[in-house]
Amino acid sequence: MNERQEKVLLATIKEYSQTAVPVGSKILVNKYKILASPATVRNDLAWLEKNGYLYQPHISAGRIPTDKGYRYYVEKVSQPEGLSLSEQKRLQKELLKLKSQNVRLTRTAAKLLANFSDSLAVSGILDKKEFTDFGLKELLEEPEFQELDKVCQLVEVLDYVDEMFDKIIQNIKTDETKIFIGKENPINKIENYSMIVSPYRLRSGEKGILALIGTKRMQYVKNKSLIDYVKKMLNKM
């Protein structure tokens, strides 16, 4: 992949993440200032499709990122970035507020993650099989959930969340935050979505797990930073 093709891929992912609409060459040239003609950008899009980074839902449409395209973005291009100081203070304030109200820790963590992300948040204590989720209503408003069967599929996953995390925990190392994109998911029922998951341990010794489940268009870098920061706070409790 040359430098221009990489720029085309990044711009396509950025635009699709914001709009959920297949991306064409004209918008890449006009909005993202790709220094090439629309014809050249079309050739780049075709190359990216041929090599598995993009796909075309139908012949008259633009392109959509594939799992491979998102993975390239997450691993090769996006740089780790922490939460801003104001975001950290907001998280700390909300955590202390909920804790003072004697809200269960799993519920507190899930609510914080859901409020600060574009995803469904799940938090749980593994030993107790105690899990809480927040953000389902907001997630189901995304364009990807226009079809009823996709809604039912996601809701069914939540019915078996304890079994789901038993399987997931086998795929990650202790203290590792793992990003699963699409078909990388160890849970085949959510292979059309992405998940960021991380274990944590309370001072009491109890083992917990945090997860964000969302569309493939989710803000991976921001959401990973978010889950890492919440985990850091929980590890001190």
DSSP state of 61: S
Residue 186: what residue type?
P
Which of residues 191 and 188 earns the better pLDDT score?
Answer: 191
**143: buried, middle or exposed (CB in 10 Å: 19+, 13-18, 0-12)?**
exposed
Q: Can you give the pLDDT at residue 200?
A: 87
Every domain of the chain and the residues it spans: 3-77, 85-235
Q: What are phi and psi of 28, to 5 degrees?
A: -65, -40
pLDDT of residue 208 exceeding 70, the answer is: yes
Q: Can you give the pLDDT at residue 81?
A: 63
Residues 85-235, CATH architecture: 2-Layer Sandwich (3.30)
For residue 98, what are the contacts with CB-CB under 8 A and spacing of at least 6? 107, 108, 111, 112
Global confidence as pTM: 0.88
Q: What's the whole-number mean pLDDT along residues 224-233?
A: 89
Q: What's the whole-number mean pLDDT along residues 161-179?
A: 78
For 47-97, how does the pLDDT look when each residue is reduced to its tens digit (9 = 90+)?
A: 999 999 999 988 877 999 999 999 999 988 766 666 788 888 888 888 777
Give the helix, strand, coil percentages of the chain, each rounded to 5.
55, 15, 30
Q: Can you give the pLDDT at residue 49?
A: 96
Q: Can you give the pLDDT at residue 88?
A: 85
3-77 fold: Arc Repressor Mutant, subunit A (1.10.10)
Q: What are phi and psi of 130, to 5 degrees?
A: -110, 115
Q: Can you give the pLDDT at residue 22?
A: 94
pLDDT of residue 189 exceeding 80, the answer is: no
- Output the average pLDDT for the chain: 86
Please state, in angstroms and rounded to a whole number, the distance separating the CA atoms of residues 26 and 62. 10
Q: Which range in 24-33, 69-78, 92-101, 165-174 is most confidently predicted, on average pLDDT?
A: 24-33
Q: What is the CA radius of gyration of the chain?
A: 19
Q: What's the whole-number mean pLDDT along residues 140-145?
A: 86
Task: Indicate the helix (H) or strand (E) that contains 208.
Answer: strand 207-214
**Sign of the CA dihedral with 167 first, then 171, 172, and 174 last:** positive
